[in-house]
Amino acid sequence: MAMEARTACPVGPAQPVSLAVGLFLLAAGILFATRAEGAGARAAAPRTTRDRIYSVEQADRGKQAYTRACVQCHALDFYGGDIMKPWDGGSLHDFYESIATTMPKGNPGSLKRREYVDMVAYILSLNRMPAGDRELSTRAADLKAIRIKWRTKS
């Protein structure tokens, strides 16, 4: 008598359990992806000059550097007020670069990167941007990620 070969059939009592597990895993994956995407969108929101990106101590050092290198041409409060309004929406890195590559007059780029960044912190303080606990980074990538947000009221 010939024996019939039997193969396991995927249809049967195990199918409803497998289907339920599969649907559960699919739903969990969708939920996880949706939450991760939402968190990524929040994390990807650009930082602004209103996000307490510099410290008071850093702004004080920046004022000292500004006094040494800039007051020959610019008053201490030169960068406070409407002169900064055209930078609204621009990157803090672009503002930093404009200072570091053009000043001081006659010797642009002669200060240390930290001194230029400290001066940027001082200028932010002149424009009543809130100070925080951490210093503004000297890294170009960090400065590029920060947008200048002009104050809406004086």
Percent share of the chain, pLDDT over 70? 69
Question: Is the residue at 37 inside a domain?
Answer: no
As a residue count, the chain comes to 154
Number of independent structural domains in the chain: 1
Look up the domain containing 73 and give its range: 48-147
CATH code assigned at 138 = 1.10.760
Question: Is the residue at 3 inside a domain?
Answer: no
Q: Determine contact, residues 129/47, Cβ cutoff 8 Å.
A: no
Question: Is the residue at 67 inside a domain?
Answer: yes
CA dist., res. 46 & res. 23, Å (int): 37
Question: Is the residue at 33 inside a domain?
Answer: no
Q: Render each residue's pLDDT in the chain as its tens digit; 154 residues.
A: 554 444 444 444 444 545 444 444 444 445 444 444 444 445 567 899 999 999 999 999 999 999 999 999 999 999 998 999 999 999 999 999 999 999 999 999 999 999 999 999 999 999 999 999 999 999 999 999 999 998 765 4
- pLDDT, residue 2, reads 52
Question: Is the residue at 117 inside a domain?
Answer: yes
- pLDDT, residue 45, reads 79
pTM reported for the whole predicted model: 0.71
Sign of CA dihedral 146, 152, 153, 154: positive
